[in-house]
Chain A
Amino acid sequence: MTIEYDVALVGASPSNLTLAHRLVDLADRPIRIAILEKAREIGGHLLSGAVSNPRVISKLFPDWDHSDFPLEGVCRESFLTVASHRRWESVDRLFMPPYFKKEGYAIINISDMAAYMAKKLAEKAAAKPGVVVDMFPGFPARGVVFEGEGVAGVKVDDTGKPEDDILRAKVTVFGDKGFVSRDLIKKFNLRKNPQLYSVGVKEVWETPKSYQGKVWHTLGYPLMTGHLGGGFIYGCKDNRLIIGMVMALDYANPNIRPPQVLQEFKRHPNVQDMIRGGKLLKYGAAILPEGGYYSLPEKFAVDGAMLVGDALGTLDLKRFSGVDKAMESGYVAAEVIWEAYTRGRFNAETLGVYQRRLMEGWVGRELADSRYYREVFNDYPELLDSFIPRIIEGVNSGKSVWYAAMQAGLADIGGAFRLLGARKKMENPSDGMPPAKHTEDRLHIDPAFKAPPRDMPPDPAPNTVYSTADVVFYAHTHYEEGNRHIDEFDAKVCDKCIAQYDAAGKDTPCVGDCTAEVHQTLEKGGKRRHAMALENCVQCTTCEIVCPPVNLRVNAAFHGFGPNFMGL
């Protein structure tokens, strides 16, 4: 059956929900909006840190900090902390880069926020005659319907026969994490510079003490020397604590083992002090499209379609600013859609106004100002390979971060000067520098990678650290028969990859980087073969990103299958 709406939103993401809110606010005549969402309930597949600048939240919910808005807390104190395996020291506020200061920011779980936004959206729409907002949780878009030079809608899954139901719309807005939008981007060859990703893993704990309003961002342990990433700890209400790790995927190590890195983070004595005697409530994982400015598509809209949020890639790694920029992209897109709706034309020209307006606004300005931030870590490998490790060493021997940084600088004065240039590029780039060039994450992986030596903290308190198999249980995944949502294109390609990594004494990247024990190699007929325990899958898509021969594709699972990230 073909079903028609004026606006089809792919994914109930913060960006698309903001878009719908703004569009309903603007609507002074009838309009019909449909929201497709693969999770069983709105918010069920959303995961983020998150400490967010409330600049867009406050536009939609002016009373966000004193209403029923699902706020975990307002940040009162934030720290940038350098961790060795047994000590940690926070950077003196005087030397703390401004974008690590999160005071006044909203601490939120975006799954809860999305559920709240959906509830408020339904109420808002019901109060406006002729304005229809239909939400379809459990129904993912499974493919783009291309027509002419543009997009006419999406295919919607129907009991495993995707050809059955089609959602057509005057404009289709993609706010997904790539499950569907990558087809659009590929078809029109919109992204010339590949997207870069990090993988984030997160747990929510109930702790004996309350840390509400406190925010830590950490560097160093447990990441290996040379690996870009860090830890985060956010204090929530009701004695809950968010603990997470973010790790870049453009790293040589084929076996990052993200859930175990998070377990190692929890072994740190300072983290142990917080969680000892506490209880793990939830676990989840997600990817962060963090290529930033130079990974943005050439066009943000084509005939009948637009890209917002993570589908577009608005995350600003320098400011840890993802949720607010994604929401703003939806906010701006809504205004452009309303203008196009009024004129009755939804082509690349009318919708393309969105790109100019977004890039001229604060989203574009900030992304432009952070445009070299990500590249610097690849251009100045000494930053992660020697300079920061030397600071960590200093911290480990009892020095303050400031003193350790001075020592690290003095140990290599030439290098320190070079790094001053890097800092300028990160913080305040001048015009006229050539654009950053990204290489796909998978091309950084090296089967011959040798793990640098690493010290470990003392043994953790009981029931604070888990095996991957145990922690995945806390993602509350639910699947039934017929859940083949990851395609393996060619088994022979997998066999070859396994043989190559076996020879190097490693697991393949799909196994070694999986966040939920999905990918395995099993002995079958005297040969090691690729196998998947799909019932564990949290749909993070890391495997697809790191698969060296590009042999995996993660599709949106149907019928609401997958993890339950509510409260994460």
Chain B
Amino acid sequence: MSDGLKIVVLIKQVPDTSSAAGVNPDGTVDRARAKKMMNPFDKFALQKALESRRDHGGEIVAISMGPPPAIEVLNEALEYGADKGYLLSDRRLAASDTLATAYALFKTIEWIGGVDLVFTGLQTTDGDTAQTGPQIAERMGLAQVTYTETMKITGRTIRASRIIDGGLQHVELQMPALITVANSASKLEYKTFANVYKFKELARDPKALEGRVRAIDLDVIGANAARVGLVGSPTVVGKTWKLGEKGGTCKIFKGDAPAHEAQLLAGALAADGQGMEELLK
């Protein structure tokens, strides 16, 4: 592999959880009005992609699916250091569930061709299913590791460890492969001034920018429109509801000194049967 790895990283733009903008009274989100951000889980996928390229060379292609403004999230990926970005954007994709989304993304990766590694985050903060990554791997017939904590590449072989209940499971697999990256896998690096500057320079020339980041539609990737969008999505959302606000009363323990107050609190908890007897001993 003299050219290094061809790495795809999947990134989604999600509503910014630190902002209440665009949240409707019924609890649904108006995505057009909401403040947006890169899905925080995907930052770890991007980080792993950057690390893999640093160690083994190659190219990082970021892929996202969403409405035209979501191209911002790919621009951001370039600021972090990705080489290219494709936004799959098509009205016919609206209301796609994870099955339809996985199909569309699989067709995009296939269209790019020659991919060695696909990195995804564990899940998104808006859908929270953690299904799309594994579904893509199944569609493509790729080996996959989910909840990946560590990985080491030697030639075409990947040795990885994934988080399971009670410990780590060590696996070995061959490229091409899909990896969903755990949040504990890496320490995130920040954008560098130089990279942000380079992207600004690139963005000044619309032609040059389009050579690096552009939107594509279903026809470009040759996907079957009947398998995406509402018609291609078997998932039915039966009902949504808002969680009620938690009630409760507040009790303040006043004592002579902090230690005394702690005693009062612990005593009250013990009396409440909260298992504080052990702690008090």
Binding site for B on A (CB under 8 A): 1, 3, 132, 134, 136, 138-139, 156-159, 164-165, 167, 481, 558-559
Classify chain B: how many residues form its interface, as a range: 10 to 19
Candidates B187, B194, B200, B204; contact of A158 at CB < 8 Å: B194
Rounded to whole Å, the gap between the CB of A118 and the closest CB of chain B is 15
- CB pair B193–A156 under 8 Å, yes or no, is yes
Bound together, the chains give a CA A298 to CA B200 distance in angstroms of 38
Decide if A159 touches B192 in the complex (CB within 8 Å): yes
B197 at the interface (CB under 8 A from A): yes
List 4 tightest A-B contacts by C-beta distance, closest first: A1-B194, A165-B193, A156-B193, A559-B190
Known contacts: A132-B204, A159-B189. The answer to whether A139 contacts B194 by CB under 8 A is no
Tell whether, in the assembled complex, residue A134 and residue B197 are in contact, meaning their CB atoms are under 8 Å apart: yes
| B50 CB, min distance to chain A CBs, angstroms | 12
Q: How far is the CA of A157 from the CA of B204 in the complex (A)?
A: 24
Beta-carbon contacts of B199-219 to A below 8 Å, as 1s and 0s?
010001000000000000000
Ordered by A's residue number, 16 sampled pairs between the chains whose C-beta atoms are within 8 Å are: A3-B193, A3-B197, A132-B204, A134-B197, A134-B200, A136-B193, A136-B196, A138-B190, A138-B191, A139-B196, A156-B193, A157-B193, A158-B192, A164-B192, A164-B194, A165-B192
Output the residue of B192, B193, B197, B204 with the most chain A CB within 10 A.
B193
Smallest CB gap from A559: residue in B? B190
Residues of B within 8 A of A157 (CB): 193
Chain B, residue nearest A3 (CB): B197
Provide the residues of chain B in CB contact with A139, threshold 8 Å. Answer: 193, 196
Measured in the bound complex, the distance between the Cα atoms of B192 and A156 in whole Å is 10
Contacts of A559 in B (CB 8 A): 190
| Distance of A308 from chain B, by nearest CB (Å) | 23
- New A-B pairs, 16, CB < 8 Å, besides A132-B204, A159-B192: A1-B193, A3-B193, A3-B197, A134-B200, A136-B197, A138-B190, A139-B196, A156-B193, A157-B193, A158-B193, A159-B190, A164-B192, A165-B192, A165-B193, A558-B190, A559-B190
Q: A165 — which chain B residues lie within 8 A by C-beta? A: 192-194
Report how far A218 CA is from B115 CA in the complex, Å: 68
| Closest beta carbon of chain A to B207's beta carbon, Å | 16
Q: Roughly how many angstroms separate A3 CA and B189 CA in the complex, as a whole number?
A: 21
- How far is the CB of B57 from the nearest CB of chain A, in Å? 21
Identity of the chain A residue whose Cβ is nearest the Cβ of B189 in the assembled complex: A159
* B190 and A3 contact, CB distance less than 8 A: no
Min Cβ gap B55→A in Å is: 18
Q: How near does chain B come to A368, taking the closest CB pair, in angstroms?
A: 41
- Min CB distance A240 to B, Å, is 16
Bound CA–CA A99/B189 (angstroms): 50
- Residues of chain A within 8 A (CB-CB) of B196 are 136, 139
Q: Which residues of B contact A158 (CB under 8 A)?
A: 192-194
Query: What is the minimal beta-carbon distance from B17 to any residue of chain A, in angstroms?
Result: 13
Most chain A CB neighbours (cut-off 10 Å) among B187, B192, B200: B192
By beta carbon, the residue of chain B nearest A132 is B204
Q: Name the A residues within 8 Å of B190 (CB-CB).
A: 138, 159, 558-559
Whole-angstrom CA separation of A559 from B190 in the bound complex: 7
Residues of chain A within 8 A of B189, CB atoms compared: 159
Complex CA distance for A156 and B196, rounded to whole angstroms: 12
Interface string of B48-90 (1 = CB under 8 A from A): 0000000000000000000000000000000000000000000
Which residues of chain B have C-beta atoms less than 8 A from A138's C-beta? Answer: 190-191
Closest Cβ of chain A: how far from B261's Cβ, in Å? 15
Q: Which residue of A lies closest to B203 (CB)?
A: A134
Q: Is the CB of B192 within 8 A of A3?
A: no
Residues of B near A159 (CB, < 8 A) are 189-190, 192
Q: Which residue of B lies closest to A36 (CB)?
A: B193
- Give A157 to B192 CA distance when docked, in angstroms: 8
CB distance from A529 to the nearest CB of B (A): 20
Q: In the docked arrangement, what's the CA distance between A481 and B190, Å?
A: 12
Closest to A481 in B: B187
How distant is the Cα of A134 from the Cα of B204 in the complex, in angstroms? Answer: 11
How distant is the Cα of A164 from the Cα of B200 in the complex, in angstroms?
19
B193: A residues at CB distance < 8 A: 1, 3, 136, 139, 156-158, 164-165, 167
Chain A residues, Cβ within 8 Å of B194: 1, 3, 158, 164-165
A164 surroundings in chain B (CB, below 8 A): 192-194
Query: Given the complex, which residues of A lie within 8 Å of B187, measured CB to CB?
Result: 481
Q: Which residues of B contact A132 (CB under 8 A)?
A: 204
Q: How far is the CA of A159 from the CA of B189 in the complex (A)?
A: 7
Q: A residues within 8 A CB of B191?
A: 138
B82 CB, nearest partner CB in chain A, Å? 17
Q: How far is the CA of A559 from the CA of B191 in the complex (A)?
A: 8
For B192, the chain A residues whose CB sits under 8 A away are 158-159, 164-165
Q: Mark B31-49, 1 if CB is under 8 A from A, else 0.
A: 0000000000000000000
The smallest C-beta distance from B73 to any residue of chain A, in angstroms, reads 17
